């Protein structure tokens, strides 16, 4: 597949009478956007705010972050299977509104939701503080069940991203990058002298409110399979989970996966990038065995020389991570795992819930148990009162002066396990 991804840089966002893009400024008709995203009987209210880098704004609890994109040429539509028909995506021409995102918030769904500060020390931990954000506060009707609450917020965010993305369909991009992966036998033959590398992309699928969608299908129901990397760029994989904010992969990360970007950057130079194997993270041992067996089998069948593995979440998924690693290594394939750590506030505890001597090449996104004091912000979008109950918070996290003391586990993207963040560590 060959995809041309055109990036339209959004330098500012304003409200106006008519939605459109001109000279890098996105104008939004607020009333029209609210009408589009609020078209669900389970939504009681919708409000829209703009949060820009450097502003004294706190967004919480954050549910998803989405980059608006639109298919300009080629088969399918972005975000397939949820908003659009299930057409195969990943080729043709797609435009992205870069430098901005749609962020969803509102009444808490599950305790594992996060914080985005647009300034201060909290902003230093989250990559999403650097974006111009359109923030949707979605409030549900009374008595709604958690899974339905999650669905309406997820769909509202996607509707907003589609609406805004379509504004860029006829805009000339500021930058165009081309990504191409050939059919497997052709790809192998293209650079026969280079090591063949696969990316094993673990998706969070551990139960209610721990869901990821692949072409609209809950990934708990899949067995490991192969994707073209460009399918991710059109939204073939989207978030629908409430896992700890620091290492959750919001939809923005699926669309802008840094591992994929780096592998493409080295493709044809140091490696031959074959594609992406997606696999799920399971609750029960039998399911973990099945998925890790299939993952290792696929890596061998595709002839990989080396594999990069990333996970989403921590604790229980550490077992899936290590099982994937040791089984792939047992096939004679070199692996590198990318994770984060829960090593205690003093950093002295065991970092992962599972380990194996074969997992000897590790990249870390940092220690999620580190404690930070977030200063008071002038404006809150959402509900600050949940600071005491979200993952990483505790009784007394929200102080009387409006500041919040939390583990960085509560900050969206702080220890992201695809490397989409600012923290890491090295061996001394």
Tell me the catalytic residues: 242
CA count, 13 A, side-chain hemisphere, 240: 31
List strand residue ranges (DSSP E) for 130-283, in order. 132-140, 175-180, 196-203, 210-214, 217-218, 225-227, 237-241, 272-280
Helix (H, G, I), strand (E, B) or coil at 317: helix
Question: Which residues have C-beta within 8 Å of that of residue 350, sequence separation ≥ 6?
Answer: 343
Q: Which helix (H) or strand (E) holds 308?
A: strand 306-310
Query: Does residue 296 contact residue 328 with C-beta atoms inside 8 Å?
Result: yes
Quickly count: other Cβ atoms within 10 Å of residue 284's Cβ. Answer: 8
Q: Which pair of structure tokens corresponds to residue 243?
A: 């896992």
Nearest to 270 by CA among 351, 211, 217, 191: 191
Cβ count near 64 (within 10 Å)? 28
Please list the residues that pair with 2 across neighbouring strands.
Answer: 180
Q: What value, to the nearest 5°, has the Cα angle with vertex 261 and ends 278 and 191? A: 85
Task: Compute the C-alpha angle 382/60/208, nearest 5°.
Answer: 105
Asked whether the bond before 78 is cis by omega within 30 degrees of 0, the reply is: no
Write the CB contacts of 377 (distance below 8 Å, at least 6 apart in sequence). 56, 57, 58, 117, 118, 119, 120, 402
The alpha carbon dihedral of 388, 393, 395, 396 has a sign of negative
Alpha carbon distance 124, 217 (integer Å): 35
């Amino acid at each position: 597949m060959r995809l041309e991804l055109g990036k339209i840089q959004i330098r500012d966002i304003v409200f106006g009478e008519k939605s459109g893009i001109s000279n890098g400024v996105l104008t939004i008709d607020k009333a029209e956007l609210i009408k589009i995203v609020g078209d669900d009987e389970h939504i009681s209210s919708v409000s829209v705010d703009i949060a820009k880098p450097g502003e004294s704004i706190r967004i919480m609890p954050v549910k998803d972050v989405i980059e608006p994109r639109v298919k300009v040429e080629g088969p399918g539509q972005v975000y397939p299977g949820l908003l659009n028909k299930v057409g195969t995506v990943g080729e043709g021409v797609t435009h992205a509104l870069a430098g901005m995102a749609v962020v969803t918030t509102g009444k808490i769904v599950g305790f594992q939701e996060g914080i985005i500060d647009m300034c201060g020390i909290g902003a230093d931990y989250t990559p999403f503080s650097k974006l111009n954000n359109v923030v949707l506060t979605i409030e549900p009707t009374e008595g709604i069940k958690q899974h339905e609450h999650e669905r309406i917020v997820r769909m509202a965010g996607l509707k907003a991203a589609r609406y805004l993305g379509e504004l860029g369909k006829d805009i000339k991009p500021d930058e165009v990058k081309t990504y191409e992966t050939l059919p497997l036998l052709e790809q192998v033959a293209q650079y026969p002298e280079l090591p063949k590398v696969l990316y094993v992309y673990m998706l969070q699928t551990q139960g209610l409110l721990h869901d990821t969608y692949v072409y609209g299908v809950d990934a708990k129901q899949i067995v490991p399979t192969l994707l073209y990397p460009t399918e991710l760029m059109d939204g073939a994989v989207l978030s629908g989970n409430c896992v700890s904010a620091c290492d959750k992969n919001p939809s923005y990360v699926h669309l802008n996966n840094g591992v994929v970007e780096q592998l493409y950057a080295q493709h044809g130079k140091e490696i031959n990038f074959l594609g992406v194997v997606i696999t799920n993270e399971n609750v029960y041992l039998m399911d973990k065995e099945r998925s890790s067996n299939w993952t290792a089998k696929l890596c061998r069948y595709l002839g990989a020389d080396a594999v990069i593995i990333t996970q989403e979440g921590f604790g229980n998924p550490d077992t899936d991570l290590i099982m994937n690693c040791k089984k792939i290594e047992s096939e004679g394939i070199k692996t590198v795992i990318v994770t984060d750590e829960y090593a205690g506030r003093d950093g002295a505890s065991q970092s992962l819930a599972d380990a194996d001597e074969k997992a000897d090449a590790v990249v870390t996104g940092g220690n999620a148990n580190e404690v930070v004091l977030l200063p008071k912000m002038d404006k809150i979008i959402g509900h600050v009162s949940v600071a005491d109950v979200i993952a990483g918070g505790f009784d007394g996290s929200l102080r009387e002066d409006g500041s919040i003391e939390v583990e960085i586990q509560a900050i969206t993207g702080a220890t992201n396990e695809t490397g989409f963040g600012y923290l890491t560590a090295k061996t001394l």
